[in-house]
Structure 1
């Protein structure tokens, strides 16, 4: 089992150059590139070809672009902006060997029915999937485990993916989000493991379902999520991606030396991984 680092874990005291160096130092195999801040900041002083050359000459490789935000139930104008971002990420992906774009559903929709959400998500993802396929890329939908998110459980996300029915459109299963709205493990047990493209490893404090925020995330294995149950079910359904990605948004961790975050993150992650793989 390989380990990736999501750059969100060390936002305040790091940057893409530091993250790449720390991935190499601590033996992380892959990295999730932040397209909202870390990658654009890097491109102010480097080119995308520079990044591609780095990946060619170092152990660490790109896992995914994170994140293409709020794709469903948008105005026509805003949706076109989403598609433009997708084209940009895919063009970058071709340059650096990154094959996956993670996208998240829209939040804070007002009085929109579940049927309307489902239909919009299916329609958008079919179009987005075709665009990604033209670049030989994949779209991975990350449901958000919070009441404000339009798609907030694994079961809802999987029903969308089933109807889209495209080989290059799948799911990002974030353990925090799976727990956050009490996603049904039976839905996971019935899923096709090949449709789960990305797995985010994390844990959380034991706050009530529906009230959890990203800041409540903690090191894997130190919170209340039944990570073993999730991973054992992933194994049973044929998930074979062979990589998990550490993603935390803990304010206390942002204040730490990034070197320590990478070191502790790997130690905690490997403890969970070794129990299950």
Structure 2
């Protein structure tokens, strides 16, 4: 028997936002966007801010405190700023896609234009490296993303001015080009995950409408654990919410 799908075919992780300070004086994570998956933050501890740039180029800053819930569409550039002990639960649409690379950090344009340079800049040392070395690499990666993020504002960056729409459009184009080779594999993950979950709901509704058991007789329970890691925004614990078959493989 396969274990039940996580609600909505989403994924969840625990995030402790980095408290190291970037070159612009703000502590926190690497600005980035997701190309096809929406994301939500549920704040569970500490305080901070969420910086966003939407698809139209509008910049916004939202305070974050325990109990706050904010979510944003694919394509929104976001940066978590840690003002003290900021910890969130991250809920991602399309479980499996974000983990398969559906994120593009806001590196400078010359890095985004070269897939090889982008991959080198995004990569962290493997799990065999020390936590000190991995954290230092995560901070260096964050700092490079902040450099490109600030460049989106052009000469107005220090004055909190408007985003340069031409630069933003170029970043969107670079992001699309970077992830395009992954699309066939992502499509398979989407069909086996979010699409399958939606179709299953329809099948249950059809069964109820016909007066049949909607699958309650085969209902099961699942749980997941996650290993700590270094993410784009902070120390991350991802939980495996993929559905597994009895032999332990992906469905």
> Do the two structures share a fold, i.e. TM-score over 0.5?
no
Considering Cα pairs closer than 8 Å and 6+ residues apart, tell me whether 1 or 2 has the greater RCO: 2
TM-score normalised to structure 1 length:
0.24
More helix by share: 1
When Rg is computed on C-alpha atoms for both structures, the one with the higher figure is 2
Bigger share in strand: 2
TM norm structure 2: 0.26
